[in-house]
Amino acid sequence: MKSKKLLIISFLVLFVSLVSCSDSPSDVGSDLLGIDLINVKKLDSNLDSIKQSSNSVKKIIPLGASPRLLLGKKDDYTAYTLISFTFTLPDSIKRAIKNDSLEVLEAKGEMNIDYFFGDKNAPFDFSIFEIESFWNSASFTADSFAALSYSQTDLSLNKTETDSVFYFTISNNIVKNWLKNEVDTSLARNRGVLLSPKPLSNKIIGFIAFDPDESKDTRINVVVRKPGAYIDTLLAYVLSDVSVVIGNNQIDSNYITIQSSLTYNGFLSFDLSSLSKGTIVNYAQLTLTLDTLKSKLGDNYFNQLNAYIITSTDSLKINESNVYPLKRVGDKFIGDISGMVRYWISNNPNYGILIKAGKEIIGLEKFMIKGSSYPVYSDRPKLEIIYTKRN
């Protein structure tokens, strides 16, 4: 009986194991399967006469989250910085301030430089004005600047610029008011100061902005004295800071102007109605050509643009979490936007592409991209789509 069962199992094992001898699939028989043929095709916007359009859109945004403060003046751009300071005070100092027995002997600030826009050696100077109106770094924008109220008295003294640090001295009186405000808000006001470039300035400097993890943000060393008692040094930390950049670009319709901080975004649209439902997009690549002569870039910047799907024509709304990076290769910005094209051919409306600077709240880089009406056809924005279609 056992031998019969063994016989049956042996046959079954033989049947199953024989299959493992199969060759890997080859092209034998492919010619008979034209009925199911699918083809890899390429759509090239520059070769296939795909209708495209582009322009530039100024979109004012708050720069409060930027790790860099901009200050200075270059061409048509003026960068202002608003900063408010705070202190951590021991009780003895607080008592002295309350008793009005503390004198401010000196207030010397230092700002660490991490960026230049324009010639590094160009002249630069600025004034410090006391801000009188309320402002909030999270929402303060270039549009808010016109309504900002500040005194016209320049509080700055003794400014010195080195390669990496800018030193300045600020009026003792305003610092004393900040100390009073720190102890009791009813004693004095502290709405911070406006750093405003003087007309002779011909560059914009970037300073390290407030960062709880960064020790190189702006500080003011305040020397105080309680007469007959002690002399001490207090440190004023940044409580809040923000930059605004005021200015405009002359828009050339042959170009897409993309600029950080100011802020200009590019709009680009391709008519992809020739791609029907059922098309599978294997890869889509967007190539933008930079005019290196017309572009204006700082000494230290993020060499990338980001593309976004426009989800609504209302204020060119985008989904910020879906970023399609366009990396710099020579004078091109190239990126994979396959997901974007798939989105459009999956019955979603094609409102176009919004292109931003890679870090749009840092620096003042102006990328001049050759647009959809640029005279040299091959330099226009190029969308190449590799797709598969069933016959």
Partner 1 sequence: MIKKILVLLIASISFINAQSSSAYTRYGIGDLKYSFSTRYQGLGQLGVSLQDKYHISSINPAAWSNFDRTKIEFAMSYNGVIINSSNDKFFSAETEVEGINFGFPISTDLGIGFAAGLVPFSRVSYQSKQNFSSPDSLIYNYDLIFEGKGGLSKIFVGSSVKIPFDWSLGATFDYYFGNFKYLSAISFNNQTNFSSEYNLIYKPTGFGATLGILSPDLTTTFGFDNISNLFFGASVNYFSKLKTDSVVTSISSVLLDTIAFYSDYMTIPTKYNFGLSFILSQRYLFTFDYSLQNFSEFKVFSKSSDNLQNSYKISTGFELQALNELSSKFWERVLWRIGLSFEKTPYKFSGIGINQYSFFGGVSLPINPDNLIDISFQYSKRGTTEKSLLKEDFIRLNLSLVFNELWFLRFDK
Closest CA to 217 of 195, 234, 236: 236
Q: Is 137 helix (H, G, I), strand (E, B) or coil?
A: coil
| Binding status of residue 350 toward partner 1 by CB under 8 A | no
- Residue of the chain from 200, 231, 280, 329 that contacts partner 1 (CB under 8 A): 280
Under rule CB under 8 A, residue 8 binds partner 1: yes
Q: How far apart are CA 218 and CA 84, in angstroms?
A: 10
Name the residue nearer to partner 1 (CB basis): 37 or 229: 37
Burial class of residue 107, CB neighbours in 10 A (0-12, 13-18, 19+) = buried
Q: Do residues 297 and 328 touch, judged by C-beta distance below 8 A?
A: no
Q: Is there binding between residue 376 and partner 1 (CB under 8 A)?
A: no
User: Exposure of 300 by Cβ count < 10 A (0-12 exposed, 13-18 middle, 19+ buried)?
Assistant: middle
Residue identified by tokens 């092209």 is 27
d(CA 169, CA 175): 11
Looking at beta carbons only, is 110 or 384 nearer to partner 1? 384
Asked whether position 26 contacts partner 1 by CB under 8 A, the answer is: yes
CB of 148 to partner 1, least distance (A): 48
42 forms part of the interface with partner 1 (CB under 8 A):
yes
Q: How far is the CB of 289 from partner 1 (least distance, A)?
A: 17
Is residue 144 within 8 Å of residue 135, measured between CB atoms?
Answer: yes
Residue 351 CB, shortest distance to partner 1, in Å, is 20
Q: Count residues contacting partner 1 (CB under 8 A)?
A: 49
Residue 28 found at the interface with partner 1 (CB under 8 A): yes
Residue 290 or 341: the one with the smaller Cβ distance to partner 1 is: 341
Burial status of residue 326 (CB atoms within 10 A of its CB: 0-12, 13-18, 19 or more) = buried
| Residue 46: C-alpha distances to residues 51, 55, 187, 253, 286 (Å) | 9, 18, 68, 19, 11
Contact criterion met (CB below 8 Å) for 259 and 365? yes
Write out the two tokens for 150: 């500040």
Stretch that binds partner 1, among 30-38, 77-85, 164-172, 294-302 (CB under 8 A): 30-38
Told to check if 346 binds partner 1 by CB under 8 A, we report yes
* Locus of tokens 């598969």: 388
The answer to whether residues 160 and 166 touch, using CB atoms and an 8 Å cutoff, is yes
Q: Does residue number 37 form part of the binding site for partner 1 (CB under 8 A)?
A: yes
Q: Least distance from C-beta 284 to partner 1, angstroms?
A: 9
Q: Which of 281, 288, 305, 368 binds partner 1 (CB under 8 A)?
A: 281
Kindly state whether residue 30 participates in binding partner 1, applying the rule CB under 8 A.
yes
Measured distance CA(215)–CA(213) in Å, rounded: 7
Check binding of 11 to partner 1 (CB under 8 A): yes
**Considering only CA atoms, which of 202, 187, 209 is closest in space to residue 64?**
209
In angstroms, give the least distance from the CB of 321 to partner 1.
16
Q: Does 278 bind partner 1 (CB under 8 A)?
A: yes
Report 320-339 residues binding partner 1 (CB under 8 A): 336, 338-339
CB nearer to partner 1: pick between 126 and 343: 343
For partner 1, which residue of 106, 110, 161, 384 counts as binding (CB under 8 A)? Answer: 384
DSSP assignment of 42-61 equals EEETTTTT--EEEEEEE---
- Interaction between residue 7 and partner 1 (CB under 8 A): yes
Does residue number 35 form part of the binding site for partner 1 (CB under 8 A)?
A: yes
What is the x/- site pattern for partner 1, positions 91-130, by CB under 8 A? ----------------------------------------
Closest approach of partner 1 to the CB of residue 272, in Å? 16
Residue found under tokens 């004095």: 188
CB atoms within 10 A of CB 342: 16
Q: Please state the closest distance from residue 171 (CB atom) to partner 1, in A.
A: 59
Binding site for partner 1 (CB under 8 A): 4-5, 7-9, 11-16, 18-19, 21-33, 35-38, 40, 42, 277-283, 285, 336, 338-339, 342, 346, 384, 386, 388, 390
